[in-house]
Chain A
Amino acid sequence: MASNEEVRNQTAGTDTKVRGREINLLPAVDIFEDPHQITVQAEMPGVSREKLNVQADRDELVIEGDIQIDMPAGMTAVYADLHSTRYRRSFVLSGELDTERIEASLKDGLLTLRIPKRMEYQTRKIKVNVP
């Protein structure tokens, strides 16, 4: 396989991205928007708070994490759906999102990111006064 060749195996939830020998698991995500924010929920089972890395600049959001689980010494693999211990996925952000105020929480391998919209972009209901 050429080192710059990118192969994507589409499988629900646990897409694997192969670039040369480097394999990253693509976390399954739900992304939804309400008038105030965009919420990203990413599945990263096996990743603890210490092994999670979330980075955001103006344009890009990167989610990374390493799986760490208890394994006895001398174990041999019998069967594996997951072929890597590393999750990585990135998204291009848009300008109205306030990346300075992203809130992140990780519970039971589920990462939730709340990315607020800048105040001036938040949808406001305008009340019509009837005289």
Chain B
Amino acid sequence: MFETLFGGFDADLFDQLRRLESEAGQLFGPYARGAGIRSVHRGTFPPINVGATPERVDVYLFGAGLDPKRIEVSIQQNLLTVSGSRALDANQGAEYYRRERYDGDFRRVVTLPDDVDPEKVEAKYRDGVLHVAIQRRAATRPRQITVS
């Protein structure tokens, strides 16, 4: 079941595509089709996975230890923006060996399909994952037409 969101596409193939994309960028320079204007550097906090069904689009943001009151989710047409901030505890007097956790403000923007309904959005935060479900308009869903 999880394969659909995390490994549904061949990971190797995905990496190959990404490599091709970057090589093409070097080969053809400004004439190559580049990355999305709102795409971000790999590793940007928080990581996001997006899945879709004909009925809705599901966006998952993986951000551990967030305060739900400090997360802002907004949608304008088909542009979903999630922003907020995570302030880590300052452990006075402790000596740090590793400091890998992201500290500070964050913002991610996801371009959704055009048929989403901005009025029907639900968001919940559980186990460190913010799940935003956006319904799609019924009229644009594929319909089965019976031949009589």
Contacts and interface: CB of A to CB of B under 8 A. Distances in A.
A and B associate:
yes
Contacts of B1: 71
Interface of B: 1-2, 4-9, 11-12, 14, 42-53, 55-58, 60, 62-66, 88, 91, 93-102, 110, 125, 127-129, 131
A39 B94 contact: yes
Nearest to B94: A32
Contacts of A129: none
A13 B5 contact: no
A33 B65 contact: no
Q: Which of under 10, 10 to 19, 20 to 34, or 35 or more describes the interface residues of A?
A: 35 or more
Interface in A5-39: 11-14, 18, 23, 28-34, 39
A109 B51 contact: no
Contacts of B4: 71, 74-77
B127 A75 contact: no
A75 B62 contact: no
20 contacts: A11-B42, A32-B94, A33-B94, A39-B94, A44-B64, A46-B128, A71-B51, A75-B5, A76-B52, A80-B5, A80-B49, A81-B62, A82-B47, A83-B6, A84-B7, A85-B7, A107-B65, A108-B65, A108-B125, A110-B64
Nearest to B1: A71
A31 B46 CA distance: 20
A83 to B, nearest CB: 5
Nearest to B63: A45
Contact of B100 (A28, A34, A75, A78): A28
Interface string A49-80: 00000000000000000011111111111111
Contacts of B102: 12-13, 28
Contacts of A74: 4, 53
A72 B58 contact: yes
A43 B51 contact: no
